[in-house]
Structure 1
């Protein structure tokens, strides 16, 4: 029989629910659930909404850039973009201006849908951050960025 050597936890914790990773996942799941419910009323998914937001900020992004920005694979981004295109919310160029990347742009209907959905999403974020004292929010954001950077290495 194999002997198990105990692995020390990264910080004092009574159980798994006190670990940072668990708490981050719980917060992300709560945010995703709230966004799913709110965006359903606008006939959008979270990845679709994220694509619309990115394209509003940076028109002409490629499929690969949108995949990175929405944290999905290129194949999944392609499915998301196809749905947005079928709904008339985006247009993709037929030919690449340079290289192989086909730029993607919002249509007027896409801008309108994004604007309508944005209010619902921002209301969710407002509810979430109002639970944190305002003076602690900048430190929380910086800490989240630092943790993500520590794992991106």
Structure 2
């Protein structure tokens, strides 16, 4: 039975193509981050903390698209290895706000350059106008799915 017989033409499925692009991007990012001793989730956590110091485990997990448990394990390792620091006790509630250390910032700088090289490669076959159009289209799709069907 062909894909069309099954009712799904994967070549015409935008969702499938987006997932394929996401998978290819993640693979390429893992390849450039691995020599730096990082995973994509590790990099995402450091990047989030650089942009918004003091995020909690839950906030970092949401931002990196992982579970709280996965982020907690990662944060413990990052703290043990000197990339982040967290207070021994929560200043308010239960959240232990994390912050990058100087070592974490240096590591992030190298990782950001590596990830940027992947993004440049990904966009290399597109003109500036095509890149702008792709960004607009993707933002529009995200907004449409997040806003739901509210008549907009």
Which runs of at least 4 in structure 1 moved beyond 4 Å after TM superposition?
6-9
Cα distance in 2 for partners of 1:66, 1:125 equals 22
Q: Give the Å deviation of 1:142.
A: 2.0
Which runs of no fewer than 5 residues in structure 2 stay unpaired? none
Cα distance in 2 for partners of 1:105, 1:18 equals 44
Residue 107 of structure 2 aligns with which residue? 113
Residue 89 of structure 1 aligns with which residue? 83
Which runs of no fewer than 5 residues in structure 1 stay unpaired? 1-5, 10-14
Q: Give the Å deviation of 1:114.
A: 0.7
Residue 49 of structure 2 aligns with which residue? 55
Residue 45 of structure 1 aligns with which residue? 39
Higher alpha-carbon deviation: 30-39 or 130-139: 130-139
Alignment partner of 1:96: what SS? coil
Alignment partner of 2:37: what SS? coil
What is the aligned counterpart of 2:73 among 68, 79, 93? 79
Residue 24 of structure 1 aligns with which residue? 18
TM-score, normalised relative to structure 2: 0.86
Cα distance in 1 for partners of 2:10, 2:110 equals 39
Q: Give the Å deviation of 1:130.
A: 2.0
Cα distance in 1 for partners of 2:140, 2:93 equals 34
Q: Give the Å deviation of 1:151.
A: 2.4
Q: Give the Å deviation of 1:8.
A: 7.4
What is the aligned counterpart of 1:102 among 71, 93, 96? 96
Alpha-carbon RMSD: 1.8
What is the aligned counterpart of 1:129 among 123, 126, 135? 123
Alignment partner of 1:41: what SS? helix
